[in-house]
Amino acid sequence: MAQIVGVRFKGAGRVYHFHASGLGLGVHDDVVVQTAQGLEVGKVVTAPDKMSPSDMGEPLKPVLRKAEDHDFARVEALKEKGKEAKVKCQQMIAQFELPMKLLAADWSLDGSCLNFLFSAEERVDFRALVRELTKTFRTRVELRQVGARDEAKIVGGCGRCGRPLCCATHLTSFESVSMKMAKEQDLPLNPGKISGVCGRLLCCLGYECAQYKEMKASLPRGGTIVTTSEGEAKVVGSNTLKQTVTVQLESDARIEVALSDLVTKKEPEPAISSAPKPKRRRRRKP
């Protein structure tokens, strides 16, 4: 059995699993791990768990050791070096007139790899840029294009609520968000009002959608005939959070009634189409 730990490299980044047998690691320990981009410093975020080698699928990279003071000093120095690399890369992008926006430049701990992240509207042919960067920095260079949501996660900022972006603070993955979620919560279906700084639908639309759906299931639908203390009335609206319905009385007056105050209700009958049914064509015998 092998000991597996989950390691995160950035504040709200994805969790990666590594082989950590015999190191006695715990949650919040800083470690140096071997990755495809070279050595990296990360933080253990899931406790060691025993797993059979046959259940791991692909062989996992190892945790080499716990991080030490000189590793943190190296990380800080590489951050400054990364800023210089970003400025140099931006100059080259302008020189080659490439339609791309550079977002970040990160060195691996051992200096064996320099990773650039960028966004672009379309695919970009950056082969000439990679050759020039490799010649300039004399190391392995990787360029990776990211989407609009990942761009917001990297750059950061504030959302419509005035708080730091969820993707930059605690979201480790992006869930699917749809206009149906906004409709379920009775929000305006104007994309400009329910989109984030990334231009995509707000991630927070999915936070309470299931709760709204559950609460709306207990409310009578529009057109339902209900009995209130004022007599029979027809449901013309509802407030999901307050658990109230707006009803129209026989006098055409409209009042708001709590769901608990409704005595009986009768679902509206389905509308019957008056359009004639199309005639079925008979097949001619050969």
Residue 240 in any domain: the answer is: yes
β-bridge partners, 15: 8
CATH number of the domain enclosing 238: 2.30.30.140
Residue 197 in any domain: the answer is: no
Please indicate, yes or no, whether residues 62 and 77 belong to a single structural domain of this protein: no
- Rounded distance, CA 173 to CA 121, Å? 22
Please indicate, yes or no, whether residues 62 and 78 belong to a single structural domain of this protein: no
The answer to whether the Cα torsion of 57, 61, 64, 70 is positive or negative is negative
CB-CB contact of 141 with 106 (8 Å): no
Please indicate, yes or no, whether residues 87 and 61 belong to a single structural domain of this protein: no
CATH number of the domain enclosing 127: 3.30.300
- The angle formed by the CA atoms of residues 81, 86 and 92, to the nearest 5 degrees, is 130
CB-CB contact of 14 with 7 (8 Å): no
Host domain of residue 60: 2-67
Residue 54 in any domain: the answer is: yes
Structural domains counted in the chain:
3
- Domain end call among 97, 124, 146: 146
For residue 107, name the pLDDT band (cuts at 50, 70, 90): very high
β-bridge partners, 51: 2
Please indicate, yes or no, whether residues 6 and 22 belong to a single structural domain of this protein: yes
Task: Work out the percent of the chain whose per-residue pLDDT is above 70.
Answer: 90
Please indicate, yes or no, whether residues 140 and 93 belong to a single structural domain of this protein: yes
- Rounded distance, CA 164 to CA 153, Å? 10
List of residues 6+ apart from 25 with CB closer than 8 A: 5, 31, 44, 48, 63, 66
Other Cβ atoms less than 10 A from the Cβ of 220: the count is 19
- Rounded distance, CA 173 to CA 178, Å? 16
Residue 122, token pair as written in the block: 């379309």
Token match 């210089």: residue?
84
- Rounded distance, CA 188 to CA 201, Å? 12
Whether the predicted pLDDT of 47 surpasses 70:
yes
Residue 162 in any domain: the answer is: no
For residue 279, name the pLDDT band (cuts at 50, 70, 90): low
Please indicate, yes or no, whether residues 78 and 133 belong to a single structural domain of this protein: yes
- Domain end call among 120, 146, 172: 146
Nearest CA-CA partner of 26 in 44, 2, 11, 42: 44
Q: What is the mean pLDDT of residues 252-263?
A: 88
The residue that leads in pLDDT, 157 or 263, is: 157
* Range with lowest mean pLDDT among 95-109, 136-150, 248-262: 248-262
Whether the predicted pLDDT of 274 surpasses 80:
no
DSSP for the chain, please give it: -EEEEEEESSTTPPEEEEE-TTS---TT-EEEEEETTEEEEEEEEEEEEEE-GGGS-SPPPBEEEE--HHHHHHHHHHHHHHHHHHHHHHHHHHHHT---EEEEEEE-TTSSEEEEEEE-SS----HHHHHHHHHHH-SEEEEEE--HHHHHHHH--B-TTSSBPHHHHT--SPPP--HHHHHHTT----TTTSB-TTSSBPGGGGTSHHHHHHHHHTSPPTT-EEEETTEEEEEEEEETTTTEEEEEETTS-EEEEEGGG---EEPPPPPPP-SPPPPPPPPPP-
Residue 166, token pair as written in the block: 């969820």
List of residues 6+ apart from 277 with CB closer than 8 A: none
**Per-residue pLDDT, 21:** 76
List of residues 6+ apart from 144 with CB closer than 8 A: 115, 116, 117, 118
**Per-residue pLDDT, 231:** 87
Residue 204 in any domain: the answer is: no
- Domain end call among 28, 47, 67: 67
